[in-house]
Amino acid sequence: MRWEAGNRITLLRNGTEFFPALITSIESAQCEIYIQTYIYELDDTGLMIGNKLKAAAIRGVMVHLLLDGFGSRDLPPEYVLELEAFGIKVMFYRPKISAWSFKRSRLRRLHRKVSVFDGQHAYVGGINIIDDMNVPNNLDAPRVDYAVRVEGPLVQSIHASTRSLWRRLAWVHLREVPVNPSLAEPAFINNGMRAAFVVRDNVLHRRDIERAYLKAIGKARSEIVIASAYFVPGKKFRQALIQAAERGVRVRLLLQGRMEYWLMFATHEVYGIFLRHGIEIYEYRASFMHSKVAVMDNRWATVGSSNLDPFSLLLAREANILVQDKAFNAELKADLEQAIAEKSVQVRAGDWSRRHVFKRMFSWAVYVVVRLMIGLVGSKEKH
């Protein structure tokens, strides 16, 4: 991880801001497009993005689309062939993992959402290629998530990462390794932001995202706001938040209030200890919240794909942007505070201990199952 100066980082809220920006980038690309995503759903949004990628390929742009074999398992094979017929290069990350396998590789997914255009600008965040309204139970409220548009020298690191992963997988799949075109370096932006691109993989960067969080939590002096859809932090992470609260830092957690999967009940196992130490917990109830963002004081923020659970922190490929900029931090913080004030319900210590006995028992059982799953797939991390 290396901090770079001279960048412009633009916050994008939900698909309503992200997809129009992504489409503009696809339409203006002249040479090369790389897109990595966990889910590619063939709904209206997926069809729209696909049509734009086809048009780019027709005009001679080299388009590389990397999808996760589990997250995008429902993408029809005939549609993949259709994309390839237009010249789009499509690959799946770990496409053949048995649902009954306990191998560690089964849970090592490509969960990052990264796109790079002509090596000049990039998008990093938590938004998959799926319509905001494509949510469970036909809920009439959009999914909530974030991404950022990145311009400036930091794009070089993002570009190198996406190219490198594609080349390695091309070798594994016996596919043609693309010849990298000569592209201009992204311009340094005067009075730009300091930012870093941080990834989690299973070789050289196994704990980078978690370490970045822990370092920022350790330096926080006034406030920490974390919004995480899946929140089952390990021991070090729990201790870091508790220690921050004990030294007077106001810690607020904005967590998912609607249970999309039963394993999400494991989150409740940490409620009791956090509430006893004065950490504030808010459950987002307005819709399904998939946010993976945080703001600490006015000096550090992150937006990315990494949840704060064992699957993201120990197994999946993830990517986050870190930002040191007062204006950016204030914008993200204001957005989170509005969600806390208007669309969330605070979980209070007294209510949690008195009224939720069976929920706490069930949450403990689910938490044990999650820890066993991590053990069964062979994680050697002390977490």
Q: Which residues are catalytic?
A: 111, 113, 118, 290, 292, 297
What's the rounded Cα separation, in Å, for the pair 211 and 298?
19
Where are the alpha helices (H) located in the chain, listed in sequence order? 14-28, 44-58, 77-85, 154-172, 208-219, 235-246, 271-276, 310-314, 326-343, 349-355, 357-376
Q: Give the burial string for 163-193 (b: 16+ CB within 10 Å, else e).
A: bebbeebbeeeeeeeeeeeeeeebeeeeebb
**Two structure tokens written together for 223:** 């406030």
Beta bridge partners of 272: none
Written as one letter, the residue type at 335 is: D
Interhelix angle 44-58/14-28, rounded to 10 degrees, is 10
Written as one letter, the residue type at 153 is: P
- In 3D space, the residue among 191, 192, 184 whose CA is nearest the CA of residue 152 turns out to be 192
In contact, 310 and 337? CB cutoff 8 Å: no
Beta bridge partners of 292: 228
Beta bridge partners of 37: 67
In contact, 123 and 97? CB cutoff 8 Å: no
What's the rounded Cα separation, in Å, for the pair 305 and 127?
8
SS3 assignment, position 242: helix
What's the rounded Cα separation, in Å, for the pair 370 and 311?
9
